[in-house]
Amino acid sequence: MIPVLLDETTRQRYLNYALSVITSRALPDIRDGLKPVQRRILFSMFHNHRLVPDRPPIKSAKVVGSVIGEWHPHGDAAVYDAMARMAQPWSLRNTLVDGHGNFGSQDGDRPAAYRYTEARL
């Protein structure tokens, strides 16, 4: 056995974990500028639902459900917030999701619940 200080070991391990979370989830990827949740949403919209610009939009709840069910088991709020942000023209330079319905406003109004909105690529 090697004696170690509990507080020092805990601090070091938490720092390693925090840096891992920041680099793998919170920061956008250098290759395409997308966070993992955004990439999962776009992949689900194209691969699972074939949502292309010439097809009619589907309920956002269906997209959120498929993302949560297959790739992102961290809760629906994080997925829908990321999807709503990709539909807001004031949040991104180029919108990646064509949102239909109330996706919020520049004044800070929150988007409507995902059961009331629709989206496509």
Q: What is the mean pLDDT of each run of 10 residues along the chain (121 residues)?
A: 84 87 73 84 85 86 88 81 89 85 84 86 83
| Res 93: pLDDT | 84
* pLDDT for the residue numbered 21: 77
* Residue 64 exposure: Cα atoms within 13 Å on the Cβ side: 21
Contacts (Cβ under 8 Å, ≥6 apart) of 72: 36, 37, 40, 78, 79
Q: Which residues are catalytic?
A: 116
The continuous run of DSSP H or E covering 58 comes out as: strand 58-59
Rounded distance, CA 62 to CA 80, Å?
11
Confidence (pTM): 0.73
DSSP letter assigned to residue 92: S
Which are the contacts of 78, defined by CB distance < 8 A and separation ≥ 6? 37, 72
Q: Which CATH code for domain 33-120?
A: 3.90.199.10
Distance CA(88)–CA(111), nearest Å, equals 10
Query: In this predicted structure, what is the pLDDT of residue 89?
Result: 87
pLDDT of residue 77: 87
pLDDT of residue 18: 85
Domain ranges for the chain, please list them: 33-120
Question: What pLDDT does 2 receive?
Answer: 81
Q: What is the strand order of the sheet 118-120 is part of?
A: 58-59, 118-120, 98-100
